[in-house]
């Protein structure tokens, strides 16, 4: 099925069957969660094969359960989200009644990447279905076995008149982005995100872009260095650092690089459970670290199974400019918090900033000074698994929010409704106006 065919089929189903009511949406979300759990082990095996070594437990936690939790959370709260909301009417218009009601946008296109192919395809599906839409999903060609299972889950749980899956490579992805969807979701790199946004703009399609960026981990003087090192490495080890919200660069304030290296080695965290996803990813990382001193925290495994390495680059090195997206962790010592804030704000806004050992005053200073999608204290990465917490970036790290009520709103039209009474005070200004109307208007706009 081509993207155009998928869109045409879903438009036909929408015209024939009409809007999906709230109770049916709840049933669809329940079926989606059940189907994911039924296929959980098959998904883990497929991703292991696609990667050539993907941790079963990471797949079950970060891909399957994240999507299941999102479906269950939205199902529980959907009735309240979908209720119309009364809006105040100015007294000159009384007894007019006004309210806002969420209605579906229509057909939502979703483009998912290879790093969390199930979560990043199906959590937007959850939000779109909760809002009453139909969906077309373009899974990543980088994980073809998993893409086939995503198609199977969608067909079993939602059916072909609610969800369509479009397979294919880069040409198919470009065609997908160029279709006149009612909303388009893209998760991936910033460079590709620009192309997707440009293609969508030609059809005036609104977009949700979930991109990347350099998520700094700021270790402040008050941090317990041993605990901070453990928490940072736990976040970095997930999916071998191939995570958009992984700690990207460590900024040390009041701690020496040598002490941080020792604290990292003491954690025993060195070799991630998951390999690099493909040869292109391995070659990119090899090019990225050229010229930087590396401290590997363990021996590499076979093939693309890479250990976490701390990197100590020169100030102008590519590691400090480009998103790492792998098990390399640049470390930079800075004199104080203002210097760290200057370092962060000199770069494109990140998805997340992680603070370790921050006081209330330090946290407030960062919150007031730094633009980012999330400000997280004393852990890394796992906030992205909270189904009620809206997720998204800002600027180069993305636009728009999804998950929970934020996702419901993102994929809804908040439509205004008004019912006028037979008479209201405002009608004295109708034309042809009475003689006193101009004087009254002048009086109303006079500065008091």
- CA 59/CA 48 separation, integer angstroms: 9
pLDDT, tens digit, for every residue of 275-325? 999 999 999 999 999 999 999 999 999 999 999 999 999 999 999 999 999
| 50 and 151 in a common domain | yes
264 given a catalytic annotation: no
Contact 395, 370 (CB under 8 A): no
Same domain, 155 and 271: no
pLDDT of 421 higher than 70: yes
pLDDT in tens, 253-278: 999 999 999 999 999 999 999 999 99
Confidence of residue 436 (pLDDT cuts 50, 70, 90): confident
Q: Does residue 23 share a domain with residue 77?
A: yes
CB 249, CB 317: distance < 8 Å: no
pLDDT digits (tens, 9 = 90+) for 121-132: 999 999 999 999
Residue 381 is assigned to a structural domain of this protein: yes
**Could you give the CA distance from residue 212 to residue 243 in angstroms, rounded to a whole number?**
9
Looking at the domain assignment, is residue 441 inside a domain?
A: no
Q: Read off the pLDDT of residues 97-108 as tens digits, 9 standing for 90 and up.
A: 999 999 999 999
The neighbouring-strand residues paired with 258 are none
Residue 192 bridge partners (DSSP): none
Task: Give Cα 241 to chain centroid, integer Å.
Answer: 16
Supply the pLDDT for residue 229.
Answer: 98
> Does the structure show a pLDDT above 70 at 112?
yes
Residue 191 has pLDDT above 70, yes or no: yes
pLDDT beyond 70 at 23: yes
State yes or no: pLDDT of 86 exceeds 90. yes
In angstroms, the first-to-last Cα distance of the chain is 65
* Residue positions counted in the chain: 448
With a cut of 80, say whether residue 183 has pLDDT above it: yes
What's the angle, vertex CA 389, arms to CA 386 and CA 391, rounded to 5?
100
Verify that 184 and 255 share a domain, yes or no.
no
Q: Is 253 within a domain?
A: yes
pLDDT of residue 24: 98
CATH number of the structural domain spanning residue 140: 3.40.605.10
In a domain, 448, yes or no: no
Do 189 and 281 lie in a common domain?
Answer: no
Strands 207-210, 216-219: pairing is unpaired
Whether 241 and 272 have beta carbons less than 8 Å apart is answered as: yes
Q: Which of 46, 58, 55 is nearest to 301 (CA)?
A: 55
Which is nearest to 140 in space by CA: 99, 105, 107, 176?
176
User: Catalytic one among 244, 264, 323, 362?
Assistant: 244
Provide, rounded to the nearest whole percent, the portion of the chain with pLDDT above 90: 95
* Residues 299, 196 share a domain: no
The CA distance from 239 to 216, in Å, is 18
Q: In the predicted model, is pLDDT for residue 251 greater than 80? A: yes
Residue 8 gets the label, from left (phi > 0), alpha (psi -120 to 50) or beta, of alpha
Q: What is the pLDDT averaged over residues 324-335?
A: 98
Domain count, the chain: 2
The confidence score (pLDDT) of residue 448 equals 67
Q: Residue 55 and residue 239: Cα distance in Å, rounded?
A: 8
Residue 407 lies in a domain: yes
Per-residue DSSP letters for 333-400? EESSHHHHHHHHHTSPPPSEEEEES--HHHHHHHHHH---SEEEES--SGGGG-TTS-B---GGGEE-
Q: How does pLDDT run across 359-389, given as a tens digit for each residue?
A: 999 999 999 999 999 999 999 999 999 999 9
- 258 located within any domain: yes
User: For residue 154, what are the domain limits?
Assistant: 3-211+403-414
Quick check: 319 and 236 in contact, CB under 8 A?
no
- C-alpha pair distances (Å), 235 with each of 29, 137, 249, 301: 29, 28, 12, 20
Whether 424 is in a domain gets the answer: no
Distance CA 346, CA 343 (A): 5
Structural contact between residues 350 and 394, judged by C-beta atoms closer than 8 angstroms: no
Check whether residue 254 and residue 329 sit in a common domain: yes
Claim to verify: residue 251 and residue 190 sit in the same structural domain: no
Confirm whether 210 is a catalytic residue.
Answer: yes
Cα–chain-centroid distance for residue 441? 49
Average pLDDT of the segment spanning 178-202: 96
Structure confidence at residue 369 (pLDDT): 98
Whether 15 maps to a domain, the answer reads: yes
Task: Categorize the per-residue pLDDT at 438 as very low, low, confident or very high, splitting at 50, 70 and 90.
Answer: confident
Is the predicted pLDDT of residue 447 greater than 80, yes or no?
no
- For residue 434, is pLDDT > 70? yes
CATH of the domain at 254: 3.40.309.10
* Helix (H/G/I), strand (E/B), else coil: 165: strand
Same domain, 170 and 308: no
Considering only CA atoms, which of 43, 213, 5 is closest in space to residue 119?
43
C-alpha 90/C-alpha 268 separation (Å) is: 64
Is residue 96 located within the same domain as residue 110? yes
Judgement on whether residues 84 and 97 belong to the same structural domain of the protein = yes
DSSP-assigned letters across all residues of 214-277? --EEEE-TTS-HHHHHHHHHHHHHGGGG--TTS--EEEEESS-HHHHHHHHHHHT--S-SS--S
Residue keyed to tokens 């990043």: 120
Check residue 300 and give its pLDDT: 97
Predicted structure pTM score: 0.95
Which is the catalytic residue, given 58, 66, 146, 210?
210
Contact 103, 413 (CB under 8 A): yes
Pair 229, 296 in one domain: yes
């Amino acid at each position: 099925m081509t993207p155009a065919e998928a869109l045409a089929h879903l438009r036909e189903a929408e015209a024939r069957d009409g809007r999906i009511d709230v109770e049916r949406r709840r049933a669809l979300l329940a079926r989606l969660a059940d189907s994911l759990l039924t296929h959980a082990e098959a998904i883990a095996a497929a991703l292991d094969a696609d990667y050539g070594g993907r941790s079963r437990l990471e797949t079950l936690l970060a891909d399957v359960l994240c999507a299941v939790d999102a479906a269950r959370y939205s199902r529980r709260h959907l009735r309240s989200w979908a209720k119309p909301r009364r809006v105040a009417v100015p007294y000159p218009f009384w007894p007019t009644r006004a309210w806002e009601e969420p209605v579906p946008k229509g057909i939502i296109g979703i483009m998912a990447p290879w790093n969390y192919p199930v979560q990043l395809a199906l959590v937007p599906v959850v939000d779109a279905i909760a809002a009453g839409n139909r969906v077309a999903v373009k899974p990543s060609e980088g994980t073809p076995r998993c893409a086939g299972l995503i198609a199977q889950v969608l067909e079993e749980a939602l059916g072909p008149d609610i969800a369509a899956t479009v397979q294919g490579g880069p040409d198919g992805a470009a065609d997908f982005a160029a279709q006149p969807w009612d909303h388009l979701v893209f998760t991936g790199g910033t460079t590709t995100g620009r192309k997707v946004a440009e293609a969508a703009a030609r059809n005036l399609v609104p977009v949700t872009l979930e991109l990347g960026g350099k998520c700094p981990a700021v270790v402040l003087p008050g941090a317990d260095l041993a605990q901070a090192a453990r928490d940072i490495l736990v976040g970095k080890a997930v999916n071998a650092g191939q995570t958009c919200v992984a700690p990207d660069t460590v900024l040390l304030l009041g701690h020496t690089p040598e002490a941080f290296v020792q604290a990292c080695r003491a954690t025993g965290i060195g070799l991630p459970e998951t390999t690099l996803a493909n040869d292109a990813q391995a070659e990119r990382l090899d090019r990225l670290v050229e010229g930087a001193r590396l401290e590997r925290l363990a021996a590499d495994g076979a093939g693309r199974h890479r250990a976490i390495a701390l990197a100590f680059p020169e100030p102008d090195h590519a590691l400090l400019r480009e998103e790492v997206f792998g098990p390399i962790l640049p470390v930079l010592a800075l004199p104080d918090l203002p210097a760290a804030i200057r370092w962060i704000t000199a770069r494109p806004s990140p998805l997340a900033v992680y603070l370790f050992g921050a006081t209330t005053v330090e946290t407030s200073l960062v919150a007031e000074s730094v633009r980012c999608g999330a400000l997280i204290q004393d852990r890394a990465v796992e906030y992205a698994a909270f189904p009620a917490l809206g997720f998204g970036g800002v600027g180069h790290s993305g636009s728009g929010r999804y998950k929970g009520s934020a996702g419901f709103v993102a994929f809804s039209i908040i439509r205004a409704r008004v019912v006028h009474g037979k008479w209201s005070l405002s009608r004295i200004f109708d034309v042809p106006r009475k003689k006193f109307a101009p004087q009254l208007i002048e009086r109303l706009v006079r500065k008091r």
